[in-house]
Structures are given as structure tokens and as C-alpha cells.
Structure 1
Amino acid sequence: MGEIVRFIPKSELERARLIAEARAIYDSIFPPAAPDRAPRGGEESVKT
């Protein structure tokens, strides 16, 4: 009986949906770097 219901405005729901969609698109284009991935062919070992 002491339950509190929070009403979320449609604009806030839409904003969260758009952010999630944009993040999914970004991750599909630029996949998150795997921390255990070793550099290939001197990617990070280039010295000038």
C-alpha cells in the first residue's frame, strides 16, 4: 500500500530511447575495443 508510482514524461522516454538507439548504431560502426586484444603489426608500437 505504500508503493510510490513515478510518472515519466513522454519526452524523457523518447530521449532515453534515442540515446539507446544512437549508442547501438555507434557500437555497430565503432565496436568497443577489447581490453585483452594485443596490438597488431605495430599499431601502438610506432615510434618517431
Structure 2
Amino acid sequence: MTGLPIYLEADMGQVIQFVSKSERERLRLIQEARAIYDSIFPPADPAGEPASGANARQSDRGNLA
């Protein structure tokens, strides 16, 4: 330990990526838009849980002509 604050200590193997201000703003706007969309149209299935095959097949039956 060098006695420096943790945010000033650098790990020589660490890669630091520059992210422009416009890119940060773009990501923030996308995140905000997703939150608004999800508040209006809540996802049918919880994130990370795939739909079961039986339920997916039943929902497709109504689309058959």
C-alpha cells in the first residue's frame, strides 16, 4: 500500500476506456426510454426467465388462419 487514496492507486493491468460525454448521454437517454417504455408496457415475463415452450405454442395458435 502506498498511502494514496484508493481512487489514485492504479493497477498496471487495468484497462481504462474513454467514454465521451455524448456517449454517456446517449446511454442515459436509452436507459430512461427503456424505463418509460416498461412503465407503459410492462414485460409479460420477468426478465431472465424464458417463456415455457407450452405457453409459447398456445399463444401462437391464435395467429393461424
Aligned equivalents of 2:13, 2:43: Cα separation in 1? 43
Which consecutive segments of 4 or more residues in structure 1 shift more than 2 A? Answer: none
Question: Unpaired runs of 5+ in structure 2?
Answer: 1-11, 46-50, 56-60
What TM-score results when the alignment is normalised by the length of structure 1? 0.64
Residue from 22, 29, 37 that aligns with 1:26: 37
- Between Structure 1 and Structure 2, whose CA radius of gyration is higher? 2
Q: Secondary structure at the match of 2:26?
A: helix
1:9 lines up with 2:8 in the alignment: no
Aligned equivalents of 2:14, 2:41: Cα separation in 1? 42
What TM-score results when the alignment is normalised by the length of structure 2? 0.50
Say what the alpha-carbon RMSD is for the aligned residues.
Answer: 2.2
- Greater relative contact order: 1 or 2 (C-alpha under 8 angstroms, separation 6 or more)? 2
Give 1 or 2: higher helix fraction: 2
Number of positions where the alignment pairs a residue of Structure 1 with one of Structure 2: 40
